[in-house]
Chain A
C-alpha cells in the first residue's frame, strides 16, 4: 500500500503542498498575532474593508472588459488598460470645459452624462480601432502573436496620448454631489466609494444580462465556443467581435469616470497599473467569466487593503503596505494552486485550450 502511495504522490505534489501549507501557516499565524496585538480596532478593520471593496469595484470595472474579450477570443487584451486610460483622460478636458462654463455644479446630472458619454465614446472608438487594426488580421495566428501586438498597441497608445495631452497630471474637478459621506448601519461610507461599488455591481449585472439574455450575447457566446461553427450558423463573427470590443470599451470608459471620482488625477500612465491589477483580478475569478471577474476584483481589493495589516503587522514587518502587491500575487498563486481555473472557473466557455 505504501508503495502505491509513493507512486501516486510525486515530488511536485509534495513541494506544492508544502508551499501552500507554508503560505497558509504564515497567513494564519500573522493574522492571529495581529489580532492578539490589538493595534487596530473593529472600526479600523471595517474601514479597511470598505476601502478594499471600493478599490475592488474599480478593479472590477476594468476587469470586466478584459474578461469579455478573453471569453470571446481567448486572448489577453493588454491594450485594454490604454482603452481604459484614453476615455477618462479625454473626458477630463471636457470636465474642465464644463467647469469653465459654470455648468459643472449647476447641472451635475447633465455634466455627468456628458462626461460619461465622452469617456465611453472615446474608449469604445479606441477599442474598436485596436481590434480592427491590430487583432482582426491575426485571428488565425498562433496565440503569442496577438499578445505581442497587444503589447505593442498598448505602448503605442500610451505614448500617443502622452504626446497629445502631455505628460503632466490633469486634475479632474470634484463634483458637489459626490462630496461627503453617508452613515449606513453605523458605518461611514463615502459617496465616491459607494458610487464605485454600486457602479461595479450595476455594470456587472448589465454585462451579464447582455451576455446571457440578448441576441447579441448569444452570438458572442457561440463565437466564443467555436468561430467556424458560429459563422456557419449565420453569425457575423467580425461584427460580434467588434461589438464585444466596443462593449468592453464602453465599460472601460464608464469605469474610468468612476475611477476619477475616487482618484481625481488623470495622466497617460493611469491605465497601466490598474490594468495589470484588473487582469490579475480577472484571472483570480476565472478569466472569461463575468461574475468571476467581479468576485476576483473584490477579493483582490480586500486583500490589498486588509492583507498587509492583517498578515504582516503581527510578524513585525516594517512598511507592510509596501508588500501589498506581493501579498496579492502570493495569494493569487495560492488560490490557483488549489483552484487551477480561478475561483468561479471559466464559465463563459468550457476550458478547452
Chain B
C-alpha cells in the first residue's frame, strides 16, 4: 500500500527544469532513499512534497489524497514532517520549546484559553511538555530540555531536529541528509536510529542521503535523480549495478563517487 505517490511531477525555475516528470511511489513503513549528485533536484522534490513549491505539472498524493499545491502547514497537518540539510532549529528557543512548536498541529490552546489559562489549556500544556520530554529521551537528549538549541552540540542538534519533526506525529518523515557532517561512529548511530524510527514508531521514511554506505545499508528502495530526471529506481543491489547510475556519478569525474558506490550490505 503506497502512502506517497508522485506522478509526472515537474518543477521549473525560469527556463530550467529542476524536476521533470518524476514518478515515485513510497510504500507504507518503508525506508525509501533519493540519491543523486548535487543539484539533481532532491531537495526540490522535498519542497514539492511539503508544499513549499507548487509543481507546474503532475500530482502528488498522500494516502490517496491529492496534496499538490496545498500550503505547507496543511501538508504538515495531513501527516508529513521534515528535517533540513543545514539544521534549521529555532536557535533561541530551548530544546523543549522546539519540540512544543513541532507539536503545533495537534495542540488546541487558543488565544482566549492562553490568556485565562482554563483547566484544559493548563492540562494540555502539562501533557505536551511531558510528551516533549519523552521525545527528547527517545532521541537521546534526556535532561537537555532547558538548553537553548544553539548551545547544543552538532549531533544533538540533528537529533533534536528529528525529535521536533516527530512531534507532529507524522505518517511520513522526510529526512534531508541526516548524517551530513557526522563522523563514522555518529553516522552509524544515526542509521540505527532511523531504523528504530521506522520499527518502533511505524513511520514511513523518505531519505535524501549522500553517503552511499548509509543509503545502501538501510534503504529498501532507491530512486536516483540526475539533472531533475529520474534515471533509475530499484533496490540497493539493482542500483549498484545500474550502468546509468555509475555513469552519472563517474561521468562527473567525482573521485568521491566510485569509492562510495561499493556494496556494503
Interface residues of A (CB under 8 A from B): 4, 7-8, 10
> B57-91: contact bitstring with A at CB < 8 Å (1 yes, 0 no)?
00000000010011100100000000000000000
Interface residues of B (CB under 8 A from A): 66, 69-71, 74
Closest to A8 in B: B69
B71 pairs with A10, CB closer than 8 A: yes
Cα–Cα distance between A10 and B70 once the two chains are bound (Å): 10
On chain A, the residues within 8 Å of B71 by CB distance are 10
On chain B, the residues within 8 Å of A10 by CB distance are 71
Cα–Cα distance between A102 and B235 once the two chains are bound (Å): 92
**CB-CB nearest 4 A-B residue pairs:** A8-B69, A7-B70, A4-B66, A10-B71
Closest to B68 in A: A4
Cα–Cα distance between A4 and B61 once the two chains are bound (Å): 12
On chain B, the residues within 8 Å of A8 by CB distance are 69-70
Interchain nearest-CB distance for A42 vs B (Å): 42
Interchain nearest-CB distance for B180 vs A (Å): 21
Closest to A3 in B: B66
Closest to A12 in B: B71
Interchain nearest-CB distance for B171 vs A (Å): 19
Cα–Cα distance between A7 and B73 once the two chains are bound (Å): 12
5 inter-chain pairs at a CB distance below 8 angstroms, sorted by A residue, are: A4-B66, A7-B74, A8-B69, A8-B70, A10-B71
On chain A, the residues within 8 Å of B66 by CB distance are 4
On chain A, the residues within 8 Å of B70 by CB distance are 7-8
On chain B, the residues within 8 Å of A7 by CB distance are 70, 74
Cα–Cα distance between A7 and B70 once the two chains are bound (Å): 7
Interchain nearest-CB distance for A351 vs B (Å): 14
Closest to A7 in B: B70
Cα–Cα distance between A4 and B66 once the two chains are bound (Å): 8
Interchain nearest-CB distance for B88 vs A (Å): 15
Interchain nearest-CB distance for A341 vs B (Å): 16
Interchain nearest-CB distance for A97 vs B (Å): 56
Interchain nearest-CB distance for A45 vs B (Å): 39
Cα–Cα distance between A7 and B71 once the two chains are bound (Å): 9
Interchain nearest-CB distance for B50 vs A (Å): 15
On chain A, the residues within 8 Å of B69 by CB distance are 8
Interchain nearest-CB distance for A3 vs B (Å): 9
On chain A, the residues within 8 Å of B74 by CB distance are 7
Interchain nearest-CB distance for B198 vs A (Å): 30
On chain B, the residues within 8 Å of A4 by CB distance are 66
Interchain nearest-CB distance for A349 vs B (Å): 17
Interchain nearest-CB distance for B112 vs A (Å): 20
Closest to B69 in A: A8
Closest to B71 in A: A10
Closest to A10 in B: B71
Cα–Cα distance between A7 and B69 once the two chains are bound (Å): 9
Cα–Cα distance between A8 and B54 once the two chains are bound (Å): 11
Cα–Cα distance between A10 and B66 once the two chains are bound (Å): 17
Interchain nearest-CB distance for B76 vs A (Å): 14
Interchain nearest-CB distance for B91 vs A (Å): 12
Closest to B74 in A: A7
Cα–Cα distance between A10 and B71 once the two chains are bound (Å): 9
Interchain nearest-CB distance for B216 vs A (Å): 35
Interchain nearest-CB distance for B173 vs A (Å): 23
Cα–Cα distance between A7 and B78 once the two chains are bound (Å): 13
Closest to A4 in B: B66
Cα–Cα distance between A256 and B244 once the two chains are bound (Å): 66
Interchain nearest-CB distance for B192 vs A (Å): 37
Cα–Cα distance between A99 and B66 once the two chains are bound (Å): 78
Cα–Cα distance between A7 and B54 once the two chains are bound (Å): 14
Interchain nearest-CB distance for A14 vs B (Å): 14
Interchain nearest-CB distance for B57 vs A (Å): 15
Cα–Cα distance between A7 and B72 once the two chains are bound (Å): 12
Interchain nearest-CB distance for A63 vs B (Å): 28
